Amino acid sequence: MIPLEHYLYLSGVVFTLGLCGVMMRRNIIMMLMGIEIMLNAANLALVAFNKYMPPGPDGTVPMDGQVFVFFTIAIAAAEVAVALAIAVALFRRLDTVNVDDVANLRW
């Protein structure tokens, strides 16, 4: 049996990788991939916590962590659909997917 800490360390490292991807890459699609990795790291931590939760008073195995992950997956799918539509529209209008070229709204 693998201790909970191993999953949490792994989740932290994967989250950091995703954060690096978002910070380092300037391509909007690469940044989206980094966000996906970060969401997956969070999901992994949720499932790990769910697994190591004590059973309820009537002996039922708790499932709340896994249900949270389903909602996260649904929202991640929504996020990626809208963001990719924006990326495609951006490329059509401005011929770029580099976020540094789209800094008009930055103060």
Partner 1 sequence: MYDFMFVIFATFALVGGLLMVFHPSIVHSAFALVASLFGVAGLYWTLGADFLGVTQVVLYVSGVTVLLLFAVMLSDKTLGAVSILRCAAMGLVIGPLAMALMVTYRAIDGMVGTEGAALPDPAPTTPAIGDLLLQPEGYLVPFEVASVLLLIVLVGAVTLARPMADRQVSRKTIADRADAEARGDEGASAPQGEGA
Site for partner 1, rule CB under 8 A: 1-2, 6-7, 10, 13-14, 17-18, 20-21, 24-25, 27, 29-30, 32-34, 36-37, 40, 43-44, 47-48, 50-51, 60-61, 63-64, 66-67, 69-71, 73-78, 80-82, 84-93, 97
Least distance (Å) between residue 107 CB and partner 1: 21
Q: Is 21 helix (H, G, I), strand (E, B) or coil?
A: helix
Question: What backbone torsions phi and psi does residue 102 show, to the nearest 5 degrees?
Answer: -115, 60
Residue type, 18: G
Q: Enter the tokens of residue 101.
A: 């070229």
Could you identify the residue written with the tokens 């990719």? 84
Minimum CB distance to partner 1 smaller for 81 or for 100: 81
Q: Enter the tokens of residue 92.
A: 């059509």
Minimum CB distance to partner 1 smaller for 2 or for 103: 2
